Every structure is written in structure tokens, then in C-alpha cells.
């Protein structure tokens, strides 16, 4: 019986150029982003400018984490305590956590069979809730129909915050994920598309939103040292009105991220080649359902999701156990007990008015998830696919 022996949590090493840049920063002792000479650009400044160019956006702020970026996105957008915020019921815990951190109330929206947010339920809840904010999670790298999303946002006057933690480098109809909404947030946590252990970006086209975000991030009165930022006039009143929630990125993390950003598109192609091998394997089994990706979706598949629609909870637990015994680590989003990074919406018990979402529960009840680290070769992915199909079909 074939076994898989590699780790599902082992990432590729930091590029040598990033290691060298990090060593240079450490030798200088100037890790703080504002520890610069007059008119000098720090590693963090350069990273922000490079990401602004990559995304084609005017303003970028590098943060300490993606979750922090989500939090200050809410604050900078003007969300107040008690405001309602639409968001996916199928997402990871930092998304409703950011809404809760702002004092707002999550309005959870169902998941569709393609693992994206259910657009019919979104439209219904946008009309009924009176919410003016929408935090859209591109969960596990799946992009919903962004044309329809934007039409709904326009119809109901929704301020859109895109959670692009899993879609850095992805596109919809040729347009980059994170350039549709009013604000976008990205993650550079170890298992994301570029890796600094922790880290985040906040991007926006709105000067006032970025000015508030920079002040929230802990710029003190050093906002003029930001280069991917609005002009000084945008800070004139905002600097007096905006509390400091310190969450800056440091130069050490920025140094190791810059070479990774330069190589991002190549890495995306490598992930997708591995995904396609696994997808083909899963499609060979009539017991496994994996949604076809839309033609307009230029996805980045650093993970893969699939369903076992006719399996009971006990059968799925058996699949997890037997795959694990053969070295293949799967996660289950339908478990009624939160484990590792997975949790079902009804485990977020700080949400005071918890809705009943039977459609979401049904979709998640058979949904499995697996990371695709680039330390896996294409041959590794073929073996993993073979093992999963053998276990499921037996």
C-alpha cells in the first residue's frame, strides 16, 4: 500500500535574496520602518511601493498581520459599534473576529455549492439587513462572480472590503483580486502566497481611508514618510481624530517578502499545476465532487477543496483517519468541534444573534480541505491524489 511521507506544513525556504536582505537589515540594527535617513526609503516603504505597482493601486499599507489589516480596514472605513456587516458564513475565524473587534455585528451569508458566497442569499440579506458594509472573504482561493458582486454592492450602496488572504495573485476576468472593492486586505502568514511568518497589506483607492489606516497602524506623526500614501493634506484633520492601534510591519519582514513578491506569478503557476493534477485525480472518482472553476477565474490554488456528497459524518471521519494513516492530511469543515484552523460558523459563539444556516451546514458537512505546499512535486501530488481516491472508493 503506497504511503506519502512529506510534511503538509513544510514551506519552501526564503529566497537567498531575501535572506541576504534580512541579514543586512539585522546588521544595520534598523528594523523599525521609520528608522531612516532623510528621503531614504526603508525596506517596508519599498515593499509597499512594489505591491502598489503589482496590484495597480494608489495606496498600500504594510501591517503586522492580515487579521490586523482587516480590523483597521473596518475602522478606517468608518464602521461603528452596532453597525451590521455582511460576511461569508464559510470563512476562517479572523474575518468575523475583525468585525467583532470593531464592535459591529456580523450578518452571515450562506455558502453556495461552488464554495463561494451564495449570491442569492447575499442579495436577500443586503436588502433585508440594512447593512452598509460587506466583508467578502475569497475563502480558500475561490472567487465568486465579481461582476454580480459589484452589481449588488452598487444596488445597495455597500462599502466592500475584500479579504484576499487566499487570492494574492488571482484575477477575475483579467482584473486582480483586491481591486474590485473599496478596501482589500492580504495576508503574508506562513501558509499564504508569500511568507513572512505574519504580515498583511491593506490597499485602497480612497485617500481618507488610507490616511486613517496609516494613523491607526501606528505612524504617530511620521505619516509623511509613507510613499505609497495620499498627500499630506489628507492627514490634516485625521491625525487628530484617529487612535493609534500599533500594528506596523518591520523592515526585517519586508526584506524577506520583496523577492517573494517579485516571483509571485511564477509561484502561482506552480501551485496551479499541482492543483490540476489533484483535480484530475478527484474527477476520476464518481464519489468525489470538485467544482469546475469558471473561465473568468484566474485562481491561485495553494490549497484544494472537494466534497464527498454521499458520505455520512462517520464515513468522512473514517476517510480522514485512513488518509492520515497513509500520510495524507485532510481537514474537515463540517466538524461540529473546531479543530486546527477549521471552524464552523456556529462555533463563533460571541455572535449574539446566531442564525440558522441549514444550507451552509449541508455544504460544509461533506467539505474537505488540503494544503498544497510547493515543497510537493507534481509527482507527489499524483501520489496524493491516488491515495485519496483509493481510500474514498474502497
Across 122-128, average pLDDT: 98
Structural domains for the chain = 16-262 (3.40.640.10), 264-393 (3.90.1150.10)
Query: Interior CA angle at 166 toward 343 and 265, to 5°?
Result: 160
Output the pLDDT for position 14. 98
Provide, rounded to the nearest whole percent, the portion of the chain with pLDDT above 90: 97
The model's confidence at residue 38, banded by pLDDT at 50, 70 and 90, is: confident
Give residue-wise pLDDT tens across range 326-374. Answer: 999 999 999 989 999 899 999 999 998 899 999 999 999 999 999 999 9
CB of 132 within 8 A of CB of 104?
Answer: no
Mean pLDDT of the 33-50 span: 95
Band of the pLDDT at 3, cuts 50, 70, 90? very high
Which helix (H) or strand (E) covers residue 291, if one does?
none
CB contact at 8 A, 166 and 185: no
- pLDDT given for residue 352 in this prediction: 85
> Taking a C-beta distance cutoff of 8 angstroms, is the pair 143, 177 a contact?
yes
Mean pLDDT of the chain: 97
Instruction: Please state whether beta strands 159-163 and 183-187 pair in parallel, antiparallel, or not at all (unpaired).
Output: parallel
* CB-CB contact of 360 with 345 (8 Å): yes
Indicate whether 158 pLDDT > 90: yes
Name 103's Cβ contacts closer than 8 Å, sequence gap at least 6.
79, 80, 81, 82, 83
Higher-confidence position of 38 and 72: 72
pLDDT of residue 179: 98
250 has pLDDT over 90:
yes
**CB-neighbour burial class of residue 355 (10 A; exposed 0-12, middle 13-18, buried 19+):** middle
Contact 367, 266 (CB under 8 A): no
| Span 130-136, average pLDDT | 98
Report strand pairing: 200-204 vs 59-63.
antiparallel
What contacts 268, CB < 8 A, 6 or more positions away?
169, 170, 193, 300
Is residue 260 helix, strand or coil?
A: helix
For 168-184, write each residue's pLDDT tens digit.
999 999 999 999 999 99
Is the pLDDT at 99 greater than 90, yes or no? yes
Amino acid at each position: 500500500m503506497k504511503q506519502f511521507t512529506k510534511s503538509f506544513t513544510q514551506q519552501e525556504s526564503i529566497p537567498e535574496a531575501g535572506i541576504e536582505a534580512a541579514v543586512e537589515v539585522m546588521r544595520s540594527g534598523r528594523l523599525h520602518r521609520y528608522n531612516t535617513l532623510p528621503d531614504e526609503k526603508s525596506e517596508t516603504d519599498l515593499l509597499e511601493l512594489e505591491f502598489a505597482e503589482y496590484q495597480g493601486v494608489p495606496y498600500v499599507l504594510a501591517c503586522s498581520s492580515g487579521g490586523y489589516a482587516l480590523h483597521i480596514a473596518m475602522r478606517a472605513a468608518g464602521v461603528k459599534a452596532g453597525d451590521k456587516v455582511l460576511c461569508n458564513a464559510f470563512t476562517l475565524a479572523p474575518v468575523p473576529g475583525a468585525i467583532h473587534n470593531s464592535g459591529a455585528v456580523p450578518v452571515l451569508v450562506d455558502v453556495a455549492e461552488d464554495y463561494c458566497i451564495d449570491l442569492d442569499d447575499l442579495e436577500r440579506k443586503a436588502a433585508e439587513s440594512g447593512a452598509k458594509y460587506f466583508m467578502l472573504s475569497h475563502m480558500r482561493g475561490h472567487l465568486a462572480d465579481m461582476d454580480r458582486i459589484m452589481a449588488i454592492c452598487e444596488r445597495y450602496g455597500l462599502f466592500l472590503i475584500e479579504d484576499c488572504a487566499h487570492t494574492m495573485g488571482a484575477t477575475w476576468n483579467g482584473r486582480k483580486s483586491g481591486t474590485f472593492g473599496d478596501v482589500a486586505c492580504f495576508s503574508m502568514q506562513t501558509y499564504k502566497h508569500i511568507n513572512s511568518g505574519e504580515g498583511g497589506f491593506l490597499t485602497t483607492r480612497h485617500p481618507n481611508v488610507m490616511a486613517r489606516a496609516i494613523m491607526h497602524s501606528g505612524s504617530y506623526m511620521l505619516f509623511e514618510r509613507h510613499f505609497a500614501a495620499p498627500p499630506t493634506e489628507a492627514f490634516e484633520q485625521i491625525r487628530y481624530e484617529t487612535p493609534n492601534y500599533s500594528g506596523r510591519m518591520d523592515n526585517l519582514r519586508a526584506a524577506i517578502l520583496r523577492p517573494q513578491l517579485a516571483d509571485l506569478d511564477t509561484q502561482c503557476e506552480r501551485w496551479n499545476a499541482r492543483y490540476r493534477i489533484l483535480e484530475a485525480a478527484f474527477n476520476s472518482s464518481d464519489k468525489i465532487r470538485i467544482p469546475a472553476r469558471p473561465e473568468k477565474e484566474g485562481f491561485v490554488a495553494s490549497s484544494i477543496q472537494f466534497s464527498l456528497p454521499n458520505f455520512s459524518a462517520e464515513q468522512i471521519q473514517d476517510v480522514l483517519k485512513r488518509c492520515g494513516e497513509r500520510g495524507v492530511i485532510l481537514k474537515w469543515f463540517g466538524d461540529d468541534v473546531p479543530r486546527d484552523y477549521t471552524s464552523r460558523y456556529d462555533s463563533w459563539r460571541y455572535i449574539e444573534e446566531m442564525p440558522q444556516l441549514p444550507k451552509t451546514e449541508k455544504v460544509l458537512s461533506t467539505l474537505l480541505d488540503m494544503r498544497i505546499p510547493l515543497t510537493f512535486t507534481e509527482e507527489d501530488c499524483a501520489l496524493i491524489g491516488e491515495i485519496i481516491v483509493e481510500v474514498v472508493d474502497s
